[in-house]
Amino acid sequence: MFESTLRSLDERIMAFLDSPWNVVLAALGLFALVLLYAWAPYVRLVVKSMRRNPLRTLLTGSATFLLVMVITMIWSVLWLLDLVTAERSRDFKAIVTERWQIPSQMPFSYERILEDGGATRRGDVKPQNVMSWQFYGGTLDPKKSRENLVFFFALDPAKVLTMMDEFRDLNEDEHLEMQKMVRAVQEDKRRIVLGRDCLKRINKRVGERISLFSINYQGIDLDDCEIIGTLPEGRLTLFGLMHRDRLNNALDAYERKNGSPHPLAKKSLNLVWLQIPDTETYGKLAEQIANSPSFADPAVKVETASSGISSFLDAYRDMLWGVRWLLVPAILATLSMVIATAISISVRERRIEMAVLKVLGFGPTRILFMVLAEAAFIGLVSGALSAGGAYLYINKAMGGLRLPIAFFPPFRIPLEALWWGPTLGILTALVGSIFPAWSARSVRVSQVFSKLA
C-alpha cells in the first residue's frame, strides 16, 4: 500500500515536471519561500509601509490590476493565433484548396483522387488520412435572417475524431460522448451536432428538430434535422457538423427533380485535409498533386495547415502587428509610470523614516531593496488577482472574448495566463520603482535632520 502510494506520487511529480513552465513556476515559488523566510523582518516593514497609506496602495494595485488584465486578454488572443499558425515538423496536416478562387470550389470527385495523393508511379507517397469539408450555411426561417444563421461543416463523421485537432485533447467522458454522436450521425444522416454558442444564438436545445433554408446552395433546403448533441468546448462552438451525404444526396435529388444539376453540384468541395507524417513527405506530396493532370481544371494548391490559417489572417496582419508591438508596450510603459509615481510620492513622504533607518544601521542597499520589495509585492498580488480573475470571469462567465477575427470562435484565457499576470506585475513594478528606490537609497541623514532642526 505504501509503495503504491509512493509510485503514484512519483508519477504525479514527473507529470508535473514534464512541462517547462511548471518547472519554472515551482522554482520561482521555492525561491520566493526562501526569500520570505530569510527576510521576514524586512517583509514586516514592507507590509507596515503599505498599510500606512492604504488608499495609495489600493489605487496603485487597482491600476496594476486593470492594465495587467488588458494585457492578459491581448496576449491570450495573440497566443492562440501564434499557436494555430505555428509549423509542426512531424504529424501535421496539409490543406488542398482551389488555386485561383476564394472561396475554394472543387469537384467532389477530387477527394477520391486525393486519397492517393495524386500518386501515379511506383515510389510516390500517399497521405496517411484524408478528410473533406463542404460548407453549408442555412437559416431557420425562409426570410433568411442573420440571427438564425447556422454554418455547417459537411464531412464524413468517421474522420472527425482522427482528423480534427479540435477533438484531439478530449477527456475520457468527452471522447465517449463524441463517439456516441458520431455513431448516431452515421446511422441517420438527418442528425446534426451544434456548438454550444450556436445553440444559444438560435435558441434551440438538444432533441429539437429544425429546418434549414440554404444561403449558399440556393434551392437546397434541408428539413427535419434533429439536434442530437453539442460539440465540446473549443474552436467550433459557433458551428455545426452534418453528414456530407445529407448535402450530396440533396444535390442529387435536385438534379432528378429539375432535370439538370445544381449550379454548384460540380463545385461543392471546399477543402481537403491531408494527414502527413513529416515535412519531407509533405514536399513530395505537394509536388505530386501540383503535377498531377487530375487536378488541371480547376487547379489546386497545397499548403500546410498553419500557412492556410495564416492566409485567412492576412487582412488582420497590420492590426495584429500594431497591437503586439505598439499597444502592449504602451500599456506596459503606462503601468510602469503609474507605479513610479506612486512609489515616488511614498518615498518623499518617508524621507524622515529613511533617515532614521540609516541611523539605526540600515545600509543604503537594504533601503533600496525594501522600496523595490514594496513595489514588487503590490505588482505580484495585483497581477495574480488580475490573471486569476480574467481566467475565471472571461472563460466561465463570458464564455470567451468574442472578437470578429476570421473564423475564430470566442478566445479563451489560457492556463499559462496564471503566470503571465504575476510576472507582468512584478517586472513592471520593479522597472517603475527603480528611480524612486535609488532616491530612497540616496537620502542623507544630515540634510533631513537639519531641516527638522
For residue 294 the three cell numbers come to 487530375
What confidence score (pLDDT) does residue 132 get?
A: 94
What confidence score (pLDDT) does residue 349 get?
A: 79
Query: Which residue in 276, 327, 271 sits closest to 77, CA to CA?
Result: 327
For residue 248 the three cell numbers come to 450530396
β strands within 356-451, DSSP E: none
Residue in the block written with cell 488584465: 69
Q: Which residue has the higher pLDDT, 395 or 13?
A: 395
pLDDT over threshold 70, residue 34: no
pLDDT over threshold 90, residue 232: no
Helix (H), strand (E) at residue 84: helix 54-84
Taking phi first (over 0 means left), then psi (-120 to 50 degrees means alpha), and beta for anything else, what does residue 159 get? alpha
Q: Helix or strand or coil: residue 153? A: strand
Distance (Å) of CA 235 to CA 95, 164, 297, 402, 415: 18, 11, 33, 12, 16
Quick check: 150 and 231 in contact, CB under 8 A? no
What confidence score (pLDDT) does residue 25 get?
A: 61
Q: Helix or strand or coil: residue 135? A: strand
pLDDT over threshold 70, residue 404: no
pLDDT tens figures, 99-137: 888 788 999 999 988 888 888 788 888 899 999 999 999
For the chain, give every domain's residue range: 24-85+316-452, 90-312
pLDDT tens figures, 260-295: 999 999 999 999 999 988 888 888 888 888 888 888
Taking phi first (over 0 means left), then psi (-120 to 50 degrees means alpha), and beta for anything else, what does residue 207 get? left
What confidence score (pLDDT) does residue 2 get?
A: 44
Quick check: 202 and 192 in contact, CB under 8 A? no
- As a whole number, mean pLDDT of residues 344-354 equals 80
Q: Before 298, cis peptide (omega within 30)?
A: yes
**Helices 351-359 & 364-392 angle (0-180, nearest 10):** 130
pLDDT over threshold 90, residue 78: no
Q: Which residue has the higher pLDDT, 379 or 315?
A: 379
